[in-house]
Amino acid sequence: MFDQEPFGVLEIENLLPNLRGEGILGKRKIEIPYSLPGDVYDVYKFGKRKVFYKWNPTHLEPRVSSPRCPSFGECGGCSGQHLPYLEQFKLTSEPILKGLENFNPINKGVSPAEFSYSYRNRMDFAVFPGRVVGLRMSGNFRRIVKIENCSIQTDWANSEIPLFQKLLESFPELEYDRKKETGYLKYFTLRKSVFTDDSMSILTFTEDFKNEDLMQRVAEKAKEILSAKNIVFCFNRKKGEISASGEAIAVRGNIYLIEEIWGKKFKIPFDGFFQPNPKEFIKILEFIKSKIKPAENLADLFCGSGFFSILFGEKFSRILGIDIVQSSVSAGEEFLQEVFPDKTIEFLAFDLFHKKGLEKMSSANLPWKDSVVIADPPRSGLSPELCAFLNSNPVSQLIYISCNPENLLRDARILEESYQMEEFLLCDPFPQTPHLEAVSIFFPKNR
């Protein structure tokens, strides 16, 4: 497989929370994805200044669980299909539960996923020359694995992929060539509502495509071939490896998707975030619903288009939403004013990770001691500065939702200055991956 002698032979000794196998070669620990204890690999060493390893299996233990995806192991999307699901969940959840012992919440819950396949409501596929549509290769961002059927996305999304291939066949060389900088189409994104029948196909082009006569012909053909209720064309710079982002037009339908939770409808902008597995995330919502306390104000941090404000805003007189994405903030404020016409609604667009953003939040003139704060930050968690702000302005209740529970526990150590963690729930909306979701509820110590 490699044009050199192996550096050594490695046997996998145990599995890690990231679902990779680990073995020791010399004094170095090496992680190998998709492996099991007892697997044996010839390991090859490359590089001088920056050393990296590759491997070739010489013995593989029998697999109890058979991956549904034929590209598993090559595609970088899933990391656990070679393991029974409950074993995955045990591996990923154990370190979080151990770290939680330092905080001793009054109540803590653990909830594995009910369905481990066909759950994801959004997928972003790269488009390469030769009508190659797929996901990034494991360990190599420059190459993609052609995907015809993805086992973790919705059935509707899998039915839309062959239609998209048919569209590409109608326009040779429409795909953007990243080496030659020719062509236009870079990404194909599929979004599907779970609790309504709404659907969206998003085609991301280079920004020069919007000035081409070809665009109108592609738009007409897309409406003829694709089944999505909403078809969106968006445009961004050639060098930008970003999908579903930039200036956008609706070729059919709207530039937003309609989702529904508890009878309440949500307008999700084509580029806006929404929970990738709403059916499983309902557990988080039910938990919050049972624990949230009435107060005068709700501060929805990292609010997106107002997901939590819409669900829980009826309990409050004033709602403040903050997010960095202007389109989401605008959509959220407009929709909240429709849902709660008698309440004071203010949605602001600024960066909560930046000093100036915290200064703006300070000037929001909220009586923090009579406010409930819901924070749903990105994977990086809250910044030390934002934690310090919350410590200096103790709120009546802090509800912290995290897609990176380790960072939630990290931030909780800072928040201990002013808060006590009383409730905790760990869920798994991301089966077949090492990622989990958690929600923790804090109360001020001197209440």
Binding-site members for S-adenosyl-L-methionine are 275, 302, 323, 376
| Degrees, nearest 5: CA angle 269-274-276 | 135
Its sign, for the CA torsion 297, 298, 299, 304, is negative
Structure tokens at 230: 């909403």
User: Do 221 and 253 form a contact (C-beta atoms < 8 A)?
Assistant: no
Please state, in angstroms and rounded to a whole number, the distance separating the CA atoms of residues 337 and 381: 29
Contacts of 290 (CB under 8 A, 6+ apart): none
420, amino acid identity: Q
Please state, in angstroms and rounded to a whole number, the distance separating the CA atoms of residues 171 and 178: 18
Binding-site members are 275, 302, 323, 376
Structure tokens at 353: 């990770």
Please state, in angstroms and rounded to a whole number, the distance separating the CA atoms of residues 284 and 441: 12
Catalytic residues: 403
Please state, in angstroms and rounded to a whole number, the distance separating the CA atoms of residues 4 and 1: 9
User: Do 327 and 335 form a contact (C-beta atoms < 8 A)?
Assistant: no
Paired strand residues for 28: 25
